[in-house]
Amino acid sequence: MTRYCYFLAALLLTFAGCAKEEPAAQQHFPPDADIEALIQSRVDEKRAVGIVVGVMEADGSTRVFAAGEPGPGAQPFGEQSVFEIGSITKVFTGILLADMVAKGEVALDDPVAKYLPEDEVTMPTRGGRDITLLDLSTHRSGLPRMPDNFNPADPANPYADYSVAQLYEFLSNHELRRDIDALGEYSNLSVGLLGHALSLAAGSSYEDLVRERILEPLGMSSTGITLSDDMRHWLVMGHDMAGNAAANWDIVTLEGAGALRSNVRDMLAFIAANTGPAESPLEEAMRVTHESRANLNGNVDIGLNWIILSLGRDQVVWHNGGTGGYHAFAGFDPVRGVGAVVLTNSTHDTDDIGLHLINPEFPLTPPPRRRVEVPVSTDILETYVGFYPLTPDFALTVTVENGDLWAQATGQDNYQVFPESETEFFYTVVDAQITFTKDDAGNVSGLVLHQGGRNTPAPKQELSR
C-alpha cells in the first residue's frame, strides 16, 4: 500500500561531525559497533535496502552510520546522501506557523478562510465554527486524510497533478463529517492546506518561505523541494517494499504535507536547533511547536505538527515520513538533549530504530515472520468481495481479478493480497495483513487490517455496481 500520507551485499560506513557546542555530557547512545550491527541486521533481514542513521549526543557531537545500498547509479552512502523525508515536512510547516505567529503575521485562532481567495474557494464550517490554522496543525480540523477528488494520473508520482483548483473545488463542496476540534485524525490534506495558506499570507511560495525562514538561517543547504545540482548528485534511489526501484514524488499544492528532501547532516543540524536553550527568535518559535496542544491517542499528544510520545516520565518529540520509495524519522528527547535521524531508501518502517536509540524503553520491532502462500479456491475468494470502511474517510475495496484477491485502500494503488489460510491474507508491498471475519452463520461480516502494531476492524458492505 503506497502511503499517500501515514515507505544485498552491504556497505558499512561511519562518519563523525559536530553541531552546537554544549557542556560535555555522558554518552547516551550505544557504542558504534552496536548501532552498526542494528542497521546491518535490517539490511540482512531485507527490512531495508539501505539506511543512514545519525545520532546527536547532549554535548552536540554527532555520529553517522550507513548500511546497505544506495541503488544503481547513486553515490555511495554518506552524510551527504539525499532522501525524500515525506511527512517530516509537516514539522517545518508547524515551525513556519509558530514563526509567523511570533512576528504578528498570523494568529493560531485565525480562520483558514481569512488567507484564501474568497472568490475562488469557500471553506467548510460546522456548527457555526470555522476551521483555524491551529486546527490544521493539530489534525483536528474535521477534514479527511485526503481529498476525495484526488485521482492521480500517474500512481507512481501521485501528487504531481493535484492542482490548487482541485483543492479549492474539494473544499468548496465538502461537508464536514464531525465537529471541528472534536477528534484528532491524521490528515495530509490539513497540513498541505496549512502550508498553502501560510504561503498566501506571506506572499511567497511554500518552498521560498521554508528556505528563507528555516533552511538558510540553520545552514541547511542540502534540504529543499527542488533538487539543486548538488542534491541531485547525492540523491539515492528509492525502493518499494518488494525492493523494486520507485519513482520520486513531486508534490505540488500540498507541499507543506510532505515535499521536502534532505540528508542526515542537515537533519542533525535541524535536531540540534530544536534542543537546548533557544539562541534565536527562530529557535524560540521552534520551542513553541513542541508544546502539547491536544491528545491524539493514549500517551501520544501533538504540538504544532510534532508528535509527542510519553514513556513514563520521559518524552520523545518526533515525526516520521514516507513516500513511494523512502521512509524517514527525526526525533529528540527535549530534556536529555539527545536526538536521532533515520533515513532509508525503501518504504520499510524504521521508526522503532530512532525511538529506541533515543529511549531504549521503546522496543525494537522483531522481524516479520515468513509467510507462505497457500491455494484458496476462487469461490471462497469471491465471498470476500466488498467495501470495508475502516474510518469514515478510509476504506479497503476488495475484488477478485483473474482468480486472485486484491485490496485497494482509499486513494491508493490496487495491490494483490496472498492467502496464508482461507481467511488470512498478506501484502508483499507493505508489512500488512488482512483477516476476514465471519458471523455465526458463516457469512463474511468484515475484516481486520493488521499494520504497524494495530488491528483495525471494518464491517463488510456490498460494492456499488
Query: pLDDT tens digits for 357-407?
Result: 999 999 998 887 888 999 999 999 999 999 999 987 788 999 999 999 999
The grid cell for 23 is 557542556
Instruction: Report how far residue 28's alpha carbon sits from residue 60's, in angstroms, rounded to the nearest whole number.
Output: 12
How is the chain split into domains, by residue range?
83-358, 378-459
pLDDT at 391: 83
Instruction: Report how far residue 197's alpha carbon sits from residue 283's, in angstroms, rounded to the nearest whole number.
Output: 22
- How many angstroms from the chain centroid is the CA of residue 4? 9
The residue among 355, 369, 430 whose CA lies nearest residue 1 is 430
Mean pLDDT, consecutive 10-residue stretches, the chain (465 aa), reads 30 34 67 97 95 97 97 95 98 98 98 98 97 97 93 93 98 95 92 98 98 98 97 97 92 97 98 97 98 91 97 94 96 97 95 97 88 95 96 88 93 86 90 94 96 88 78
What is the C-alpha end-to-end distance of the chain, expressed in Å?
A: 24
Give SS3 for 255: helix
Which residues does residue 307 pair with via DSSP β-bridges, in sequence order? Answer: 302, 318
Give SS3 for 223: coil
pLDDT at 411: 66
Instruction: Report how far residue 462's alpha carbon sits from residue 465's, in angstroms, rounded to the nearest whole number.
Output: 9
Question: Residue ranges of the alpha helices (H) in 174-279?
Answer: 188-202, 206-210, 216-218, 229-234, 264-274
Question: Residue ranges of the alpha helices (H) in 108-156?
Answer: 133-137
Place of cell 506557523: 97
- Count CB neighbours of 447 within 10 A: 24
Q: Which CATH class name applies to 83-358? A: alpha beta
Write the CATH number of the domain with boundaries 378-459: 2.40.128.50
